[in-house]
Structures are given as C-alpha cells and as structure tokens.
Structure 1
Amino acid sequence: MKNGVSRFSPAAFAAKVSAEGKQDEHEVRVDEGGAAVTLADADDFERLAGEIRTYLSAPRGMTEDERRQYSETLNRAVLGFPHEREQVLAVIEDRLIRLRIHSLPGFKHPYGSLAEALFAEVVGLNVLELVLANRSGLEEIQVVGDRIYEVRGGNVGLSAYRFGSVRDVERIQQNLVLYNNDRINPRKRWAEVMLRDGSRVTMTGFGFTSSPTLTIRFYTVRSFSLAALSKPPYRTLSEEMRRMLLAALKARYNIVLIGPTNSGKTNLMKAMIAELPDDERIVTIEGRFEMMLGRDFPSKNIVEYETNEEDEQHGAAQAFKLALRQSPRRIIHAEIRDDDANIYVRACTRGHTGSMTTVHANRLEDVPEAITDMCMLDGRGMNPERLTKRIAEYVTELGIEMKLMDGRRIISRIGEIEWKQGEVRVREWAVFDEALGEWRYPNAPSERAAVWLKEGMDPNE
C-alpha cells in the first residue's frame, strides 16, 4: 500500500483467484503488501486489462529489428490483420497461464474465453471489428466522434455501425499510441502511426478537434505498371496515353500531378517509376514514407528521405541539400510545400530533369502560380511573373490531372504547361470526355515537345 492506495498485483490476484470458492466473489482481495482491498468484478477486469496492456507494450526481442518487428505485430493486430491478431491472442493466453488466471469469478462477458475478452479490450477495435469483417474494397475508415465512415472504391459512406461512446474511440487511440511509444494527452493531442506496408493511422483528441478522430488508411495497391492501369478493372488511362507517358519519361520531362485526395496520384507516380531503368539513381523526399519504393522495387537504385519540418536538421531543405550531392538522375518529391518549393525549382532547372512531384491546385493552369506563391514566401524579392514563366517552362513541363469518377480513378487531362503571351496555358494532349466516357486527343504535342518525344519513343510501340 502506498499513500493509502492499494496497487493491483497480478501475482496476488492470481493467488486469490486460484482460491475461488472459499469466499464470496465480491469479497476481499489481497494486494501485494497483504492488505485487504475491495474490488467489484468490473474493476477486477479493468485492472487485469491494464496489466495485460502494460505487458504487451513492453519491448520484446534481443535486437532493434526484433523489437521493431514486435511493435509492428501489435500495430497490425490493432488494425485487424488476422495473422497478427492470432499471435497477440496467443501471447495473452500464455500470460494468463503463467499468472494462473483462467477466469474472473462473477465477471460475465460475451467472449469465448477470458483471453478473448482481454484481447477485445486492449487490442480489439470495438465495433470497427464489424467493419473490418468485410475488407473487400475497404480503403479507409474515418471515425469522427462516435460516427464511422467507410471508403470503398473511392466513395465515402456512413457506416451501418457506430461506437457506443467516444470513450471507446479514445481507448483505441491509447492502445495505438502506447504500442508505438507515443502519446495523446493535453500537451500533445494528436498522433500518427505508419506501418511498413504503407497503412497509416492518424488520430486527434479533444481540444485539437471538437471530437476525437481516427482515420485508418489501408495500403491496397498491388500493381505498379502503366500497362495494368490501362486495362480493366482500373482503366485509369488509355493505351495511347500509356505510350505518351512512356515517351515523356524517356524524354526526361519534369512532371507534376494534381488531383483530390484518394484520386490515385501516388499509384500513378509509382506506375511511372516502375517503368524507369533499375540502375537509374532516384531520390525520394517525403514527409512520411508512403510510396515505399525501396520495398516495392528492391532492385532499383533508390534513396528515400523522410523529413520532419519540426527538426531543422532533418527538414526538407536539408534533405534536398544532401540529395543533390548523391548524384540523382531524378528527384521524386511527394508534395511541394512552402519551405521546399524554391529548392525543388532550383533542382529541376539545374540538371535534374525527369523529376516528379504533386501540388495542391484546382487546375493544371494554376500549378505554376501556386508554386510561385510558395517560392515567394522566403522573402527574396523575386519577380513573380518571371518566376512563374520559369516554372511553367522548366519545372512543370508536363501536367497530369487526376479525378475520382464513380469510384474509378482516372487521368482527366494530360497536357504541356506553357507560357504564352504573358500567361500560363495548357496544350491538352488528352482529355477525358465525361459524356462519352472516353478520352479525346485534341492537340498534338508542340514542335519542341515533338522533338523530345520522338527521341523518347520506342520504335516497337
């Protein structure tokens, strides 16, 4: 007993449970110091769940890689991966056997065993278990307060399931952050968890958002080729557009992609990267490892940077400086942001052609100006019109616009981004006609582009 408060002891509790029948199930329990404490059945379960949660969160393994793998197993178990769930359930069962606890007298639960009841409390996802039971086409789960939304085939819909209270959401959040040595508390009201397979969990708590939120984005892409994306069931682009993109890659165009969240930008970028020679040095710069190129293309010569803007020594600016000294043939920047816009522009205009990035913009015509606005934030006093012209001509040479349409991710436009008569224009090579449900090809490439593309064309295509 410490400061008049008794602490829960698994050993003492196990000894008491083994003597069940000798006293009423709601009577006295014994703490680790031999003092008597009174606990209701629900409190017993809550204390035991806390012991199991602490036991699971303790590092496992002799090496750093083994400990990382164990943490990954816990994360995947929480997110509903069957194999890992079986592994963690077995760990809980083994722990109960070692504690000689087989049941809690008087405690009723709907599960097959006490181990399963504890699993549901410290690892399980409550009603999200029912959502995960149908994983077919499930791309994302979005939780706001006690409401649940499901994203399937790019479409968001209110789930038939709902949490009983926000406390259940907060418990899941605490499990996830605990197993990642992170935290959500009044000082830090958010957290992110990233799994090796690319699945990502983003969480916010009370005070940062009006209600607790939990977003689980699953890694679902299995194919990384333009040929696969040009055929059913994807049909993201046409066969003619596939040939266009192959020629543009070989001609080392600087390419920019735009489109709303979940419209397929990353998938298309990876499909284009798959077409590049394996020995060509590629450097990627991301705020979070999402593309996972090293994992998906183990034979490619890839250096991957994960930046942290809160740490100056490991921010995007430092990553670019180092990347430019590592002899990259192409730079793949996941998304241009304010702090690194100038560096990316300099990279594209100083010999690193064939680079790719994404930008938040509504139309391809808006992209050069959007990048200019970001570049101007560093206060260098540059001429905005000259800078926009330079970006249009050398940084965003080829634009690709993505769209989500009836659950299908498509390229809605491909075009040269040009500077003509003092403004940005887009010479459209391909446009998706929504009325026809097919692509049109309104313009041939410009004379300048035709020369480049001819050099990059495969004579067998």
Structure 2
Amino acid sequence: MDDYRLRHELRRGIESLCRRRGDLLTETERTRITEEIIDDTLGLGPLEPLLRDPTISDILINGPNTIFVERRGQLEQASISFHDADHLVQIVQRIAGKVGRRLDESSPMVDARMSDGSRVNAVIGPLALDGALVSIRRFGDRRLQASDLIGHRALTGEMWDFLSTCVATGLNVIVSGGTGSGKSTLMNALCSAIPANQRIVTIEDAAELNIHLPHVARMETRCANVEGKGEITARDLVRNALRMRPDRIIIGECRGSEAFDMLQAMTTGHDGSLTTLHSNGPRSALRRLEMLVGMAGMELPAWFIRELVGSAVQIIVQCVRLPNGQRKVTSISEVTGVVGETVSLHDIFEYKRQDTDPTTGKTGYFRTTGIRPVCLDRLATHGARIDPSFFEERILRVDRCDTIPRLAAAPGRSTL
C-alpha cells in the first residue's frame, strides 16, 4: 500500500474502534486521538503538526519534554511533548532510517536531509545526557527572491542591484554570517543573476540551493558508513567539479580544506563563483579563509595564502540576525588585493545600527560609505557602466518590493 492508502485504512480502523465506545469520547477527542495515532504510526509522532506549520523555520528538541520552534526569527516553546525518552529516540531513529542512516549507541550522531528537504541533526545517548538532541532546519516551498528580501528590508534595492551586477559580470562573492543569518537564502537569490548560458556546478553538505537555471549540476557530500568507509568530502567534489567543465562553482558552505581548491578555482578561469562562510564580519571572514586554507595539509607560507585570498575574492557580503529576529545585510565590502601583510578591504555599503524605534520598529539605516569600488573598471569591461556618483555618501531609502530596480540578468547591461 502507498502512504495515502495506509493512512485511509488506519483512519477507518481507529474510527471504528472509537465508535464502539462513543459514550466515552467527544467528537473533538476522537479526532485528536485519530490524528495522534496516525502520526505516531506512519509519521513522526508529535513532530508532524510542527512540520505541517509553514511559519516554523527551526525545530529544536532538548529531550522529550523541551521542544522549541522558531517563528519569524523568534524562539518560543512548543506545546508538544514525547511520551518519554525512548519515544523520542524511536522517532529520531525513524527519521534516520528513512534516509538510509543508522542511529544507535555505536553510531550516536546523524546529519541528514529529510524527504521534504529539511536538514536534520540528531545526537542520542550516551553523548546526549538529558535525552536526544535534535535540530531540524526547515525550508519553505518557495525560495525567497529579490523582491522578498527587499520587502523584508534585509537590504535596499540599490544594494541588491549592485550585488546582482557583480554576480552577473563574474566577480567572486563570499556571503558571510552566523548561523541562521540568511546566508544560504541570499546566495540562492543571487544565483538568479547568473547568465542562463553558463554551466554551474553546486557542492553542498545538505542540498539547500534551488537554482532555477537550465544548466546546473548538483552534487552532495556523503558521510562515512558504520565501518568508517565511503566518505566523500567537499574537497573531493571540488576537485571532481574542475573536470566537469564548469563556468562557475558554487559551494553551499566552505568549512574545511576545500577552501584551498575553491580559491584556486576562482583564480583559474571560474569567475563568478560563490560560497558561504561562518564569521562575524568581513575581516573575520578573510582570517577564517586563511585558516581554512591552512587546513589543506600543505605547508604553505602565510604570504602565499594571503596573496591567494586577496586575488581570488572580490566581494564579501555580511549577513546578521538581529536580536528582534530580523535578518539584515550589514555590509557589502570589496577586497582589493594585499598591502604589505594585510588583505586590503573596504566597505561600500553598510547598515548602521541604532536603538529600536518603538513606533516604527526600525533598528537602523542603510548607507553608502562614499568609497568608489575598484571593481567599477572591471564591471565596465562587461558593459555595466555605473555612474561613480551613485556611491557618494548618503542614506539609502528602503524601497518596498514594487519599486525594485531592474535586476542585472546578464553581462553587457547596466542597471545603475
């Protein structure tokens, strides 16, 4: 039987049993019991109502009785619970089993992607002391586009238009930020600016990107099996991607020695590549890149690593999740090479934080810094001629989505 038929037959059986003692249950109680049994038998038990709720972006479980969810950037405690610790472990093992992973005392951690695209990480005993720890990162059915990001005031139309022009004309971009700051969402939106005639290879630990372009080759890393064999790392996939004739390589998140191969690819004909990075700021992102390159297992001198980073990366976009749950692009910075022993970096756009206005809810404002980007000459060679006065120091208006500037969809077209 398929899942639909199973649920139908199980519902008929439960309702038949409930009708035998209809004097003990109200209609509401019968409906609740029926749904709970179906969810626990064929689904993921108490998690099912949360997974059906489109407003929830994260589900965080700290034992059978402590479940939190994130809605619109704010954490709140959910009103569900599991019967006991064993019930929670049983549900988590069901999740792991559906994706072909094993979860028990000999293999107490799992990191996988669920059938709906959600990313799940689970840790059970003996590592988890107070019951299983589970984190589920959910993704909406519809990926956020430029209009959504501007409508949510994550950045302004001018900032988006500059970024999309940079992507369209082949500058290498790193999207930096903390966990849950919107890095992957922004990078996914930026991919819409890539010309449709280019071949893109994506590499991810858990598939999150949803790029609507005609020529996309997607790859996903693989964890080792229970015998400790069969692991395929991001570095393995980057090396393989170079043999697949890509125009651009997009790495979902750069977190290890693959940074060295990625930077080499950026400097050897794969212009316009993108990746995300965990860091607290653009300068921290550069230092983290240098550290990751050092993990490649080769004794590279510090000056060589800095030269590699300075020549490979052109734009760093910093994303931040504010205390009120809002996601903001707090800076767009340009890397202009190496000066002495330092990678040169300057901000083009920035978000200036202020105390929250109780009447409007505003937490700050976007502005240009007054620095003219060095990359303007390079953009001009691709036909994107931008008036330097655009970057004069000023406060930027946060337009609603119906006043978005035209997007840079391909090289050869200026939008500013």
TM-score, L = length of structure 2: 0.78
One-letter identity of the residue aligned with 1:394:
S
Counterpart residue identity of residue 365, structure 1:
R
- 1:341 pairs with 2:267: no
1:123 and 2:42 aligned: yes
Residue aligned with 1:328, SS:
coil
Q: C-alpha separation between the residues in 2 aligned to 1:140 and 1:87?
A: 30
Q: How many residues align?
A: 366
Q: Deviations over 1:329-383 (max 9, x none)?
A: 1110111132312211211111111100112222211223222222223342211
Structure number having the greater helix percentage: 1
1:314 aligns with: 232
Evaluate the alpha carbon distance shift between residue 209 and residue 430 of structure 1 in structure 2; reply closer, same or farther with a 3 A threshold.
same
Q: Residue 229 of structure 1 aligns with which residue?
A: 149
One-letter code of the match for 2:283? E
Which residue of 168, 171, 184 maps to 1:250? Answer: 168
Alignment of 1:152-167 (within 5 A): 152-167=71-86
* Structure 2 match to 1:354: 272
Q: Which has the higher contact order (CA 8 A, sep 6+)?
A: 2
Distance 1:368 1:389, change over 3 A: farther
Say whether the 8 Å CA contact 2:172–2:314 is kept in structure 1: yes
Unaligned runs of 5+ in 1: 1-59, 61-69, 74-85
Indicate the structure (1 or 2) with the bigger Cα radius of gyration: 1
Please list the CA deviations of residues 223-251 of structure 1 after superposition, one character each: whole Å capped at 9, or x if unmatched: 44324422x2x222111101211221133
Distance 2:296 2:99 in 1: 36
Amino acid at match of 1:304: R
Contact persistence 1:203–1:213 (CA under 8 A): yes
For residues 5 and 379 of structure 2, the distance between their equivalents in structure 1, rounded to whole angstroms, comes to: 53
* Letter of the structure 2 residue corresponding to residue 438 of structure 1: Y
Q: Equivalents in 1 of 2:68, 2:205: separation in Å? A: 26
SS at match of 1:270: helix
Report whether the alignment pairs 1:140 with 2:55: no
Distance of 2:238 and 2:259 partners within structure 1: 11
- What is residue 438 of structure 1 aligned with on the other side? 365
- Deviation at residue 144 of structure 1 after TM alignment: 0.5
For 1:347, what is the secondary structure of its paired residue? helix
CA distance in 1, matches of 2:241, 2:49: 45
Q: Which residue of 2 aligns with 1:51?
A: none
> What SS does the corresponding residue of 1:89 show, helix, strand or coil?
helix
Assess if the C-alpha contact under 8 Å between 1:229 and 1:235 holds in 2.
yes
Query: What is the TM-score when the length of structure 1 is the normalising length?
Result: 0.71
Separation of aligned partners in 2, 1:138 and 1:121: 20
Pairwise CA RMSD: 3.1
- Give the deviation of 1:121 after TM superposition: 3.2
Change (3 A) 1:399 1:126: same
Q: How many percent identity over aligned positions?
A: 22
Q: Which runs of 5+ in 2 are unaligned?
A: 355-362, 385-412
Write the letter of the residue equivalent to 1:167.
Answer: D
Q: More deviation in 334-343 or 406-415?
A: 334-343
Structure 1 residue 204: Cα displacement: 1.8
Aligned to 1:300: 214
Over 3 Å counting, the alpha-carbon distance change for 1:395 and 1:88 in structure 2 is farther
Q: 273-282 or 168-177, which moves further after superposition?
A: 168-177
Change (3 A) 1:120 1:349: closer
Q: CA deviation at 1:131?
A: 4.8
CA distance in 2, matches of 1:377, 1:450: 34
2:220 maps to a residue whose letter is E
1:212 deviation in Å? 0.5
Single out whichever of 262-271 and 197-206 deviates more from structure 2.
197-206
Partner residue of 2:120 out of 192, 201, 217: 201
Matching residue within 159, 163, 173 for 2:92? 173
